[in-house]
Amino acid sequence: MPTIPETLRVDPGRLWEDFQNLSRFGRTQEEGVSRPAFSAVHLQARAWFRERVLAAGLKFSVDGAGNHSARLDCALPAAGKHARVLLLGSHLDSVPNGGRYDGALGVLAALEVLRVIKDAGLALPVDLEAIDFSDEEGTLLGLMGSRALAGKLTRAELAAPRGGRQALLEGLGRAGLDEAGLLTANRSVQQVSGYLELHIEQGPRLKSQGMQIGVVTAIVGISSYRLVFTGRADHAGTTPVQDRLDAAQGAAAFILEARKLVLQQFPGCVANVGLLVLEPGAYNIVPQRAVLGFECRSASMGELERLEAALLAQAQHEAQRYNLGLEAELLSRHAPAMMSVKVQDAIAGAAEALGLAHTRLASGAGHDAQSLASLCSSGMIFIPSQEGGSHSPREHSTWQDCLNGANVLLGATLRMALQQMDQTI
């Protein structure tokens, strides 16, 4: 393998300035960020990213799914006109009142790696691209940009998106996109040589084990459902309790029983009811409809399917118990994904060269890397999350850990790019 330029490092001041500036878009009172996909502040953050790309002297492009890319044409002449590209990235959108690091760190570190390699004037066997994937968090669809790029987006998903059809169409419209374009963003294995993503762990394991870097082995599968319990609206003061068809009872019973079911029968899996709307929604009306948004996760596809079936059977049981109707709609199912062992080794090698303590672990959070895994050799670098908090303004990683992660991203990028020379990926 050609020699790796081990002394290259990211520029801490430049990365810090970018991180601080990006954190201003959608900043919340509690020092978190709210940047739901294609909201006004998300569009502002995207415009800011474009400016940073151009200021770095990199090529900027946007595809049909709204993915924003910075490209460094650093491929050796020997790679020919159609050199493959090594992608580095994550996402700039956030959950409502989320943290400043989730996604943002990975995009900014990817851009910084391109700047460092450009400044060093390195020629590699591949071109490099730093990418901000659209709607990772699922405000509209979930993993939208990365699934589109990997050619995994389906018309069925677009017809019944997790955030609702109207929200999808309006969001796309605000970003100057449309559905037809979404289905044109796919790339081929001949174009993409691999994918690397730096991310905060979003859990407590690295910190509690005293580890500085996590090498991700696999990413959980995630299924999302909308459940609707239907009863009858009645006067809340005059209808005897035993005569009510109260949709809220079915929803409440399901929420409690789902927790028990997971704890007792599905160790290692999780389920979450994160949305609950009672209609018509007044103090003095017995709820006619309870609409729940829930998701469940497992690292094994078979177990994920069994968990879904068990949760739906539980919902049916609660509907019968309270004489309610029940509709269940599957909104999305993202399969668990294995990370490439070669990429894991490249990440571990980069951490080793920097003297950073590292360990291998699976991700309980979803990531764009799980979409890319079906297209190319993919891998993820985790850094410790203080207190493990995430999807909340409590999200925090030390700046030293962020820099360590960015330098491992740089080292792993060089390893993957140079391995390409041996056609080993």
State the Cα–Cα distance between residues 131 and 119, nearest whole angstrom: 19
Contact string 2-31 vs ligand GLV (x = CB under 6 A) = ------------------------------
Residue ranges in 83-178 assigned as alpha helix (H): 104-120, 144-149, 155-159, 165-174
Is the CB of 18 or the CB of 137 nearer to ligand GLV? 137
- Residue 26: contacted member of ligand GLV, Mn ion, none (CB under 5 to 8 Å, by partner type): none
- Residue 365 binds ligand GLV (CB under 6 A): yes
Q: Binding residues for ligand GLV, how many (CB under 6 A)?
A: 3
Question: Which residue from 161, 366, 384, 405 is in contact with ligand GLV, where contact means CB under 6 A?
Answer: 366
- Residue 372 binds ligand GLV (CB under 6 A): no
Residue ranges in 121-244 assigned as alpha helix (H): 144-149, 155-159, 165-174, 179-182, 205-209
Does residue 159 sit in helix, strand or coil?
Answer: helix
Closest approach, Cβ 366 to ligand GLV, in A, equals 4
Q: Which two tokens stand for residue 425?
A: 């990926």
State the Cα–Cα distance between residues 90 and 367, nearest whole angstrom: 8
Is the CB of 2 or the CB of 274 nearer to ligand GLV? 274
The phi and psi torsions of 348 (rounded to 5 degrees) equal -60, -40
- Residue 366: contacted member of Mn ion, ligand GLV, none (CB under 5 to 8 Å, by partner type): ligand GLV
Closest approach, Cβ 141 to Mn ion, in A, equals 14
The phi and psi torsions of 76 (rounded to 5 degrees) equal -60, 150
Closest approach, Cβ 418 to ligand GLV, in A, equals 31
Which residues of this chain interact with Mn ion, rule CB under 5 A? 102-103
Is the CB of 36 or the CB of 366 nearer to ligand GLV? 366
State the Cα–Cα distance between residues 297 and 369, nearest whole angstrom: 16
- Omega of the bond leading into 5 within 30 degrees of 0 (cis): no
Is the CB of 86 or the CB of 219 nearer to ligand GLV? 219
Is the CB of 103 or the CB of 388 nearer to Mn ion? 103
- Residue 137 binds ligand GLV (CB under 6 A): yes
CB 137 within 8 A of CB 3: no
Binding site for ligand GLV (CB under 6 A): 137, 365-366
